[in-house]
Amino acid sequence: MGEPVIRPATYEDLEKVPANRVAEIIGGRLVTQPRPAPKHVRASSSLGDELMSPFDKGRGGPGGWWILDEPELHLGDHVLVPDLAGWRREKMPKLPETAYFETPPDWICEVISPSTARYDRLEKRDIYAAYKVSHLWLIEPDQKVLEAFELHDGKWTLIATRANDDEIAIEPFAEVPFALNALWAD
């Protein structure tokens, strides 16, 4: 007897996932996790708030970006939903008409939780590198840590680690510093 044939996950499989779960297709597999915990949501929402005015809207900063919460990315056969993503407007002058994005972002932020750490740190990070996302930030709200990576020759290089209430002035958003403690729930 041969091994059972496992078919790659499809977008239809993804659409059948209950609304109380986050679903992605990673390496042909349907991967689901529970919706994020409050500390996770606070960190992501607060970071979006810190970046939106100066970088997306140009208020008190250079502008020139689209900064979005949980965009659905279609990167080849992968369907990924990072916590935050940003596109330079020169790369993507207008938002697509579709409910998803096929243009890889210039920056991605993943907020790490115990249920997503393996995917965020390994599989998704490798996919982002393959699609030439130039900056990746990983935030761990339980540890109050931010790690920032930059892509060089297809490999991630750690460019900064900040913790607790350190000031953040890290590429690609170095022009407008803010205190990291703005992200923490306590």
Superfamily in which the 36-183 domain is placed by CATH: tt1808, chain A (3.90.1570.10)
Residue 181 backbone dihedrals phi, psi, to 5 degrees: -65, -10
Concatenating the DSSP letter of every residue in 132-167 gives T--EEEEEETTTTEEEEEEEETTEEEEEEEEETT-E
Residue 116 backbone dihedrals phi, psi, to 5 degrees: -115, -5
Residue among 14, 26, 31 at smallest CA distance from 78: 26
Residue 95 backbone dihedrals phi, psi, to 5 degrees: -70, 145
The pTM of this model reads: 0.90
Q: At 113, list the tokens.
A: 């939780």
Q: What CA–CA distance (Å, rounded) separates 106 from 111? A: 17
Residue 45 backbone dihedrals phi, psi, to 5 degrees: -65, -40
The domain ranges of the chain are 36-183
What are the pLDDT tens digits along the chain (186 aa)? 566 657 788 889 888 998 888 888 988 989 888 888 888 899 999 999 999 999 999 999 999 999 999 999 999 999 999 999 999 999 999 999 999 999 999 999 999 988 888 889 999 999 999 999 999 999 999 999 999 999 999 999 999 999 999 999 999 999 999 999 999 977
Q: At 163, list the tokens.
A: 């913790």
Q: What CA–CA distance (Å, rounded) separates 44 from 22? A: 15
